Every structure is written in C-alpha cells, then in structure tokens.
C-alpha cells in the first residue's frame, strides 16, 4: 500500500473528514489499481470481518417491530456497476441470510389488533405490504452494519455503492 493511500485512510478515519458522496473520492487522485487493490480492499476487509457475526435486532436501537437474526455470508466486489457515485464503476454486494423464526408485528386491517408474522420469503413475495417490509428490513440491516463498522467506512460513503441481497427463510 502506498504512503499516499495510508495517509488517505488516516484522513478519512477522522470523524470530521466525511465525503458528501462516494464519487468525491475521485478528487483524491487514486489511480484505478491503487483504488481497487488497496483502498477499496481495505474498506471491504471490515465487511468481511463481520461475516463471523450473528446480529439480532433486539441488540440495536430503532428496529421497531422487527425481531430477527441475520448474518453476512458473502461480500463481493463487482466491476461495471451502475451507481453514479462509484469511482470506477464498482459495486459491493453483501449477501445476507435472515435466520428462520424472525418476526414483524403489524396492525391487522380490520382493527387495532397487532399480529405477529414470521419473516419469510412468502411474506415478502405475497403479502400486500411485502415491499414495505422488505425496504424496512434493508434499512435495518444497513443501519446495524454501519454501527458495527469503523467511522472510516461511513466517512468514505461505501454504502453509496453497496447492494444488499437478502436470503429470506422459506416457509
């Protein structure tokens, strides 16, 4: 790793040095090879360290009526991404498994009764609110992962180029 890249990492480790958009990294004159082989690889190493963790929503604030365990099972860097904020057309894909038995509490349509639903593939696919449940789960997972990562990763706006792929339990 070059001295310049090490200095950049140190610079972005300071909470006061935060990018507004990931694409602003291109202003720091990292060539493509240094970016992929060192800078991005360093960022992704923090995500890879989380693969051994089991996360439970009850351990984190602001997870609402969601109660589930999840884990990251794979991290993949893909070139030829489609994000305007990518530096060299890259995307980072996180593959996440939600463990069976997770629930979400929702109000029933006909009254104010709260009904607990298991979080499964069919709930997401077939429930009238499946798209909303899926989006809320994506937000929760993103927020939990960000809490577990060093400020450096938040400062470099890595999540601007991250795609989350969720494997929901089958019924």
pLDDT, mean over the chain: 92
Report the predicted TM-score, pTM, of the whole model to 2 decimal places.
Answer: 0.90
Q: According to the 3-state scheme, what is the secondary structure of the chain? A: CCHHHHHHHHHHHCCCCCCCCHHHHHHHCCCHHHHHHHHHHHHHHHHHHHHHCCEEHHHCCCCCCEECEEEEEEEEEEECCCCCCCCCCEEEEEEEEECCCCEEEEECCCCCCEEEEECCHHHHHHCCCHHHHHHHHHHHHHHHHHHHCCHHHHHCCHHHHEEEEEECCCC
Across residues 100-125, what is the average pLDDT?
Answer: 88
pLDDT of 102 over the 80 cut: yes
Structural domain including 81 reads: 3-167
Question: Over the stretch 20-62, which tens digit does the pLDDT of each residue have?
Answer: 999 999 998 889 999 999 999 999 999 999 999 999 999 999 8
pLDDT of 81 over the 70 cut: no
User: What is the domain count for the chain?
Assistant: 1
């Amino acid at each position: 790793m070059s001295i310049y890249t090490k200095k950049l990492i140190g610079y972005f480790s300071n909470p006061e040095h935060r990018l507004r958009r990931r694409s602003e990294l291109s202003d720091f004159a990292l060539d493509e090879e240094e970016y992929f082989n060192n800078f991005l690889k360093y960022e992704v190493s923090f995500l890879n360290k989380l693969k051994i963790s089991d996360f439970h929503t009850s351990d984190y604030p602001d997870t609402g009526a969601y109660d589930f365990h999840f884990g990251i099972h794979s991290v993949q860097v893909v070139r030829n991404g489609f994000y305007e904020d990518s530096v060299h057309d890259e995307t980072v894909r996180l593959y996440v498994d939600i463990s069976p038995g997770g629930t979400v509490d929702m109000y029933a349509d006909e009254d104010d009764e709260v009904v607990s639903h298991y979080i499964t593939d069919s709930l997401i696919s077939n429930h009238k609110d499946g798209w909303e449940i899926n989006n809320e789960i994506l937000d929760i997972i993103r927020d939990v992962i960000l809490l577990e990562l060093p400020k450096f990763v938040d400062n470099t706006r890595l999540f601007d180029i991250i795609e989350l792929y969720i494997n929901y339990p089958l019924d």
